[in-house]
Amino acid sequence: MLFKQIYEEGLAQASYLIGCQASGEAMVVDPKRDIDTYLEEAQKSGLKIVAVSETHIHADYLSGARELAQTTGATLYLSDEGDEYWKYSGLEGFKHQLLRDGDEIRLGNVRVKAVHTPGHTPEHLSFLVTDGAAGEPGFLLTGDFVFVGDIGRPDLLEEAAGIAGTAEPGARRMFESLKEKFLTLPDYVQVWPGHGAGSACGKALGAVPSSTVGYERRFAWWADYLAKDDEEGFVKALLSGQPEAPSYFAVMKRLNRDGMPILGDLPQPHRLTLEQFRQALQGGAVLVDTRDKFAFAGGHLSGSLNIPAGKNFSTWAGWLLPYDRPLVLLAGSEAVQGLVRQLVRIGLDRIVGYIPTLEGYAEGELEAVPQASAAEVKAKWERGEVLILDVRGADEYKAAHIPGALNIHAGRVMQNLQRIPKDRPVVLHCLGGDRSSTAISALLAAGYSNVSNLTGGIKAWQEQGFPTEKGETLQAVGA
């Protein structure tokens, strides 16, 4: 049996290629949208992809399952579990088979059994893989059910998709799935999850790629609750401290359920001439400035959004970029294709071109981001002259924040403009300056002219010995 994990670091997302060398057949589980990786791996191994599946309707990325099935002619195997709100649709024209608990997919001597494991989502499946030579199940593809050291959050339907009242029932279903499905498996069964450290689909995901049922039974944070059959304690612990869910998750949920555009190939944006660039902006395009925070602060085009190229580019693009407007990238030609991949993985396909530099494209003076030192901010803060906007996560804020600071996650500033005043100075900060630069760019693009950045973030404030406090998120007076 061939078994290969394919890991995408930007979204901390794992997909899997499973194959039987004897029959030459292969299956891909939870593919990303740029599918050339799987085609190349299958060809290298002498396998034909005949089956494509998903563990569930994903929220954090746009699945490549339909894209891969369209290209290869493979059969789609998708969940038929869950309630009526989360049933797959838009499958016309695809060979597909809907799966229920206990259904099996055959790949020569390899058996892949669907196991209904609700909790993270109502329709969630895990896949129990048996190599014919072994005769006993050896691998469990857990999707967003069980991670290394953690489990999938059950609040995303409520947090991201806006379906009220689903978090606590989901947590109770997760308890039941762990008890009746996961912990009944032998300790030696290997656990291969859908995400690793850095994903927003859980709160404490481990950085190693896999685990075993026995290891999780003994060492996972939730193990003691299951051992004591403490469902109430489990539910409370699971629902507390979950990270903010990016706003684009709701878009992903809908597209992954109902269908998305089939790319056929990755977009190939070309370098724009000055006239083409002007026309794109006049037509409503957003300039995505992928330079680092220092370059952006030093000078940028008015209205551009600063999302630095790097591992977290996809996530911040999903937080802040519109799905209904074309995009132009400010990036070197060597970086464009990688950025395109990161964008299409979350469904941002309308990339109409790029410019490699501002030189020759900028007309008039560039806009700078005003900076303020910790000492300057403290003096104004003591006189009540500024509102401090802390754009870190809620848990970071609770651990230590500047007294009186308003906390709005950097990715949510655009949904909370009514809370951010335009008639008084606003100083933004995060831990060190990356997130605040992105948030400031969004506010500047929205017409704010009264914002500045706390140089060095709250780290600089604390290094000066200036006061902080702990506690819940505050509502700023006058915001």
CATH entry 3.40.250.10 includes domain 371-463:
yes
Q: Would the CA dihedral through 112, 113, 114, 120 be positive or negative?
A: negative
Question: What backbone torsions phi and psi does residue 407 show, to the nearest 5 degrees?
Answer: -110, 115
Contact 393, 245 (CB under 8 A): no
Domain boundaries, the chain: 2-258, 274-355, 371-463
Residue-level pLDDT at 479: 30
Position 161 scores a pLDDT of: 66
Which pLDDT band, with edges at 50, 70 and 90, does 207 fall under?
confident
pLDDT(305) > 80: yes
| Tens-digit pLDDT profile for residues 313-337 | 999 999 999 999 999 999 999 999 9
Q: How far is 73 from 433, CA to CA, in rounded Å?
A: 47
Q: Which two tokens stand for residue 381?
A: 């803060």
Number of H helices, E strands in the chain: 16, 23
User: What's the pLDDT score for residue 389?
Assistant: 98
Tell me the average pLDDT of the chain.
94
Mean pLDDT score, 127-131: 97
Distance set, CA 466 to CA 120, 244, 320, 390, 474 (Å):
42, 28, 32, 15, 19
Architecture in CATH of 2-258: 4-Layer Sandwich (3.60)
Which CA distances in Å does 233 have to 171, 227, 228, 341, 413? Answer: 11, 12, 10, 41, 34
Task: Return the SS3 of 16.
Answer: strand
- Tens of pLDDT along 384-431? 999 999 999 999 999 999 999 999 999 999 999 999 999 999 999 999
Count the neighbouring beta carbons within 10 Å of the beta carbon of residue 322.
13
Identify the architecture of domain 274-355 in CATH. 3-Layer(aba) Sandwich (3.40)
Count CB atoms within 10 A of the CB of residue 122. 23
Inform me whether the pLDDT recorded for 476 exceeds 70: no
Instruction: Taking each helix axis as running N to C, give the angle between helix 167-177 and helix 231-239, from 0 to 180 degrees, rounded to the nearest 10.
Output: 120
Q: Specify the pLDDT at position 359.
A: 94
Range 222-238 average pLDDT: 97
pLDDT band at 477 (very low <50, low <70, confident <90, very high): very low
Consecutive H or E run containing 17: strand 13-20
**Structure-token match 């390899």, residue found:** 110
State pTM to two decimals: 0.92
Q: CA dihedral in degrees (33, 121, 150, 103; nearest 10)?
A: -80
Q: Do 371-463 and 274-355 fall under one CATH topology?
A: yes
